[in-house]
């Protein structure tokens, strides 16, 4: 908790709901949907929606991602920190991408490797994840042979609610205070 931070969203930078857009399972014929709404003073962002797993046979996802184009150089940081104002106790996933997927002829994005970290937040907690905590996946399956994540070339950050193959469904809501990077401590032994 005492680790120095650089705020990407929230914190001393106000949230902007126009910096985020939905990426739900409707692109694959699903019925899930998500919203990203900021509080009146833009200090809290609410990720909410409905996870419907009936259309895709127990699978499903709803997510919000940063709009393109973006680029972050996070090479000098140790990981990400998420400040949670209020949680429904469900499992969420942080997702990083180091490229922007190309588009297919039908307009949908090609599948590419995502780097994912699953977490179950509590009210008023801070969730921290080192870069090693983010695992490469391709279409929701582990991809152990993926090239290393290019931390100096992060193009998208997403927050996702998914079924984990039928483990969870229905309404969800997560209120976020911030998403920040964790800086390396100058003298960790003096903490």
| pLDDT of 66 above 70 | yes
Tens digit of each residue's pLDDT (9 = 90 or more) over 115-137: 999 999 999 999 999 999 999 99
Please state, in angstroms and rounded to a whole number, the distance separating the CA atoms of residues 89 and 112.
29
pLDDT top residue among 180 and 101: 180
If you ran DSSP here, which 8-state letter would residue 72 be given? B
Q: How confident is the model at residue 188 (pLDDT cuts 50, 70, 90)?
A: very low
Quick one: pLDDT at residue 101?
84
Please state, in angstroms and rounded to a whole number, the distance separating the CA atoms of residues 38 and 117.
23
Quick one: pLDDT at residue 160?
98
Q: How many C-beta atoms lie closer than 10 Å to residue 11's C-beta?
A: 17
| pLDDT of 12 above 60 | yes
Q: What are the angstrom distances between the C-alpha of 75 and each of 104, 147, 155, 184? A: 31, 16, 13, 11
Tens digit of each residue's pLDDT (9 = 90 or more) over 13-61: 999 999 999 999 988 889 999 999 999 999 999 999 999 999 888 889 9
Q: Average pLDDT, whole number, for the chain? A: 92
Q: Are strands 135-138 and 114-119 parallel, antiparallel or unpaired?
A: antiparallel
CA torsion 117-120-122-127 (nearest 10°) is: -20
Please state, in angstroms and rounded to a whole number, the distance separating the CA atoms of residues 136 and 127.
19
| pLDDT of 189 above 70 | no
Quick one: pLDDT at residue 186?
55
The three-point CA angle 113-96-27 to 5° equals 65
Percent of the chain topping pLDDT 70: 95
The listed CATH number (2.60.120.430, 3.40.50.1460, 3.30.9.10, 2.60.40.10) that belongs to domain 5-184: 2.60.120.430
Pick the range with the lowest mean pLDDT from 99-103, 124-128, 183-187: 183-187
Closest CA to 172 of 181, 184, 164: 164
């Amino acid at each position: 908790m005492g680790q120095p931070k650089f705020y990407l969203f929230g914190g001393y930078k106000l949230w902007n709901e126009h910096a985020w857009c939905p990426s739900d399972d409707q692109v694959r014929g699903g019925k899930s949907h998500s919203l990203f709404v900021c509080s009146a003073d833009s200090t809290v962002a609410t990720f909410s929606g409905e996870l419907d797993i009936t259309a895709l046979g127990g699978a499903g996802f709803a997510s919000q991602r940063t709009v393109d184009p973006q680029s972050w150089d996070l090479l000098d940081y140790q990981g990400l920190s998420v400040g949670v104002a209020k949680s429904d106790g469900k499992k969420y996933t942080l997702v990083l991408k180091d490229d922007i997927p190309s588009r297919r002829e039908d307009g949908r994005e090609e599948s590419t490797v995502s780097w994912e970290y699953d977490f179950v937040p509590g009210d008023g907690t801070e969730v921290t994840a080192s870069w090693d905590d983010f695992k490469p996946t391709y279409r929701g399956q582990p991809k152990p042979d993926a090239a290393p994540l290019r931390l100096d070339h992060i193009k998208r950050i997403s927050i996702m609610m998914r079924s984990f193959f039928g483990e969870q469904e229905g309404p969800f809501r997560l209120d976020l205070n911030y998403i920040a990077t964790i800086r390396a401590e100058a003298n960790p032994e003096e903490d």
